[in-house]
Amino acid sequence: MMNQSIIFFDIDGTLLNHDKELPLSTKESIFKLKELGHEVAIATGRAPFMFENLRKELEIDTFVSYNGQYVVLKGEVLYTNPLRLSSLEKLTEMALHNNHPVVFMDHEDMKANVPEHTYIKESIATLKIDRFPAHDPNYYKGRKLFQSLLFCPEGEEKQYEEEFSDFDFVRWHPVSVDVLPKGGSKAIGIEKIVEKLAIPKERQYAFGDGLNDMEMLITITNSVAMGNAEEKVKAVARYVTKSVEEDGISHGLQMVGLL
């Protein structure tokens, strides 16, 4: 298709509403885009196994997961950027000393370094997924891990930020922080896909609402912030659509002329 565009969608607060439901108008819009010959992709902080059902429902096989650390194009792994295991081992030792649990995550599963902890239950429950991390303190050994979760109250991640310069720490819950490779982002993962597909900048689109979407929205030429996004997120986007609760995806796609 000569004028094929590619559209990247964040999941939480973008494709899914705050009850983790997919609005009918969003689903219909996704399939309409594909009928028109466009490439539809997901760009999320979630692990691949956390949105497998959504990919099947929307028939999407291209995605950027773990905020850019694990990238798949048409069902094939295109790019990976794992955590430095030696640093992760030291972080885990420090976290154990502080009674801060850690969850190790690869492309297939997630395991906790402690048998159970209130912080893990409290934060994972908000994702409304059908999986919970089992106990395996050695899961990180001999594997490529693309993200970890560090569980601690707000502000207590500062000590880890000061100690571990090869990680980025991104808070997503009052008691949980994403641990990512330094400098990794959705924008880098997206770049790998658009380079491979040779889709020009003027036909690249991205929809998002969160702080981890900001670099993506700054980088992509036709960026759209959801109406439910924070003001600082809206400020960096080229367009602002309605909220996810108000058929924001459908409205936004019409706004930019794709539907």
> 44 and 10 in contact (C-beta within 8 Å)?
yes
pLDDT band at 1 (very low <50, low <70, confident <90, very high): low
Average pLDDT over residues 147-173: 95
Taking the mean position of all CA atoms in its chain, how far away is CA 67?
4
> 43 and 30 in contact (C-beta within 8 Å)?
no
Q: pLDDT tens across 109-147, in order?
A: 999 999 999 999 999 998 888 889 999 999 999 999 999
How far apart CA 48 and CA 95 sit, in angstroms, is 26
Spatial CB neighbours of 124, under 8 Å, sequence gap ≥ 6? 132, 133
Instruction: Specify the higher pLDDT residue, 65 or 184.
Output: 65
pLDDT band at 3 (very low <50, low <70, confident <90, very high): confident
> 150 and 91 in contact (C-beta within 8 Å)?
yes
Which residues are catalytic, by number? 10
77: its two tokens: 């792994």
Q: pLDDT tens across 232-242, in order?
A: 999 999 999 99
Torsion over CA of 28, 33, 35 and 39, rounded to 10 degrees? -130
Cα R_g (the chain), whole angstroms: 18
φ, ψ of residue 19 in degrees (nearest 5): -95, 10
Q: pLDDT tens across 8-51, in order?
A: 999 999 999 999 999 999 999 999 999 999 999 999 999 999 99
Instruction: Specify the higher pLDDT residue, 106 or 129.
Output: 106
Q: Where are the alpha helices (DSSP H) in 184-223?
A: 186-197, 214-219
CB atoms inside a 10 Å sphere around CB 78: 16
Q: Comparing 60-69, 81-90, 124-133, which segment has the lowest mean pLDDT?
A: 124-133
Closest CA to 39 of 247, 162, 200, 214: 200
For the chain, the straight-line distance linking the first and the last C-alpha, in angstroms and rounded, comes to 16
Chain mean pLDDT for the chain: 95
- Please, what sign has the CA dihedral across residues 104, 182, 233, 153? positive
Instruction: Using the predicted structure, report yes or no on whether residue 170 has a pLDDT greater than 90.
Output: no
Average pLDDT over residues 72-97: 97
Residue with the two structure tokens 């994972």: 124
Could you give the domains of the chain? 6-80+184-255 (3.40.50.1000), 85-181 (3.30.1240.10)
- Residue 78, amino acid: L
Length of the chain in terms of residues written: 259
What is the structure's pLDDT at 164? 98
